Amino acid sequence: MRSPVRLAPLLLLAAVTLARSGSAAITVDGRLDPDYGAALATQSLETSFEDANPAFSPDPVRYADGTELDALYGAITDGVLHVLVSGNLGFCCPTAYAHQEEFDLFIDSRPGGQHTLRADNPAVGWFGGNTLNGLAGLSFDAVFAADYWLGCTVNMASAFAELLPDGGGAGYDLGYNVTGAPGTLTGGTDPAGILAALDDSNGAGVTAGCASASGAGVTTGVEWAIPLAAIGDPTGCVQVCVLAADAETHAIGNQTLGPSEPGNCAFGAPAGVNLANLPGNQYVIICPAPTPASGSTWGRIKTLYR
Ligand SMILES: [Ca+2]
Ligand SMILES: [Ca+2]
Ligand SMILES: [Ca+2]
């Protein structure tokens, strides 16, 4: 695993020391920590959004002009679900708005939920609070029924909601984070203490298009720490699905994790997107540590939600 080259030697030493002491082993800063282990899913498809070039950004850690989901890392430790989606969250640009994307993380952490997103979920998010319900009609893999949604867009503006079988439920505009670690969200309502941070400086990973590509090796992106108490206190494994969409129109791009097959371009309006029709799993399973990177899906499913 490569260390982020941007870290000064002193900081790197501090990080190593913390990891050895067993405390604060995962820092919510948008950068990969050793305790995640291997990626649980890696992108295999070029992005239908733009390919980010940090040289064009006035502040590469905070802004990227492209969007891609290169890899997903996950861990459950000390009562917290940690997720890092490496890649870029696009917003072009601070001085000349042209496009804005969002990441949508769906969590399946208990029986029930929504296999197809309803249109009467909490009214939260950006562009008038229609972010979540703008995704109505999106269907997941057959074994996936989402119980919670966590979304983010530029400046890590974040929103969170439960997805109850009959709609309704609790939802919150969590606030913003433009300062990196420790991922504290301010300016909203974050009763569960969800943390989120972004390092948008990736210039590698997949490029633009719809063909085969690899997201391997990208170690920066969006990172979340979600207390298990916020997602129904699961004691076993959980399933997560992450995708990217246009933050205003809700059109879904071709970047999902797990990935879909090369050749897929942007999927478009959510109501027309059924991930069950795509080969492979557009979700991953995250288990309490130690998390296997791959292997027996059945062994892990047996402990789902337990
Ligand atoms: Ca981190
Ligand atoms: Ca569920
Ligand atoms: Ca790229």
The string of pLDDT tens digits covering residues 77-135 is: 999 999 999 999 999 877 777 899 999 999 999 999 999 999 999 999 999 999 999 99
Is 21 within a domain? no
Is 261 within a domain? yes
**Nearby residues for ligand 1 (ion, Cβ within 5 Å):** 27, 29, 31, 33, 223
Tell how far the Cα of 98 is from the centroid of ligand 3, in angstroms.
Answer: 19
What pLDDT does 294 receive?
53
**Residues in Cβ contact with 180 at an 8 Å cutoff, skipping those fewer than 6 apart:** 29, 30, 61, 197, 198, 199
Q: Is the pLDDT of residue 146 over 80?
A: yes
Q: How far is 205 from 57, CA to CA, in rounded Å?
A: 17
Is 18 within a domain? no
Tell how far the Cα of 82 is from the centroid of ligand 1, in angstroms.
Answer: 9
Is 15 within a domain? no
What pLDDT does 26 receive?
97
Domains contained in the chain, number: 1
Alpha carbons within 13 A on the beta-carbon side of 14: 7
Overall pTM surpassing 0.95 (yes/no)? no
What pLDDT does 305 receive?
66
Quick one: which H or E segment has residue 14? helix 9-21
Q: How far is 152 from 247, CA to CA, in rounded Å?
A: 9
Is 9 within a domain? no
Contact 52, 202 (CB under 8 A): yes
User: What range defines the domain where residue 169 resides?
Assistant: 26-301
Is 200 within a domain? yes
Q: How far is 140 from 239, CA to CA, in rounded Å?
A: 11
Is 199 within a domain? yes
What pLDDT does 97 receive?
76
Counting ligands in written order, the one closest to the CA of 71 is 3
**Nearby residues for ligand 3 (ion, Cβ within 5 Å):** 51, 205
Query: What average pLDDT does this structure show over 156-179?
Result: 98
Is 256 within a domain? yes
The string of pLDDT tens digits covering residues 235-276 is: 999 999 999 999 999 999 999 999 999 999 999 999 999 999
Average per-residue pLDDT in the chain?
A: 90
